[in-house]
Structure 1
């Protein structure tokens, strides 16, 4: 059985590194989502789907 010591060293989480990683991930996800919407906008233009085009352009404006 494993013994636990009260004052045993615990791994330290570097808060700044954690925040930086979160910012990088958020930025990457936003960039990916914008690209997805742009591709759908292009497709709506190809399909001449005005309502979809308007909906997607509004969505893109809201996340930018």
Structure 2
């Protein structure tokens, strides 16, 4: 019974970590989109390229 409880707790921990990772990725992606839009509006090509590279790296 203890082994089953340990497995269950391990699986819950992994599920929680996956949910947290997904939330962090979503938050970072939304912030990058906003910053990329801002760079486009301001005509800041260097910032646009840098942020676009960061966004691409997140999607890999």
Task: Calculate the TM-score normalised by the size of structure 2.
Answer: 0.84
Q: Which has the higher helix share?
A: 2
Displacement after TM superposition at 1:35 (Å): 0.5
| Cα distance between partner residues in 2 of 1:18 and 1:56 | 32
> Which residues of structure 2 form unaligned runs of 5+?
none
> Whose radius of gyration is greater, 1 or 2?
1
Query: Gaps (5+ residues) in structure 1?
Result: 1-11
Is structure 2 residue 29 aligned with structure 1 residue 39?
no
The 2-side partners of 1:62 and 1:32 are apart by 15
Q: TM-score under structure 1 normalisation?
A: 0.79
Q: How many residues align?
A: 53
Q: 1:43, CA displacement in angstroms? A: 0.2
In the alignment, what sits opposite 1:19?
Answer: 14
The aligned counterpart of 1:7 is none
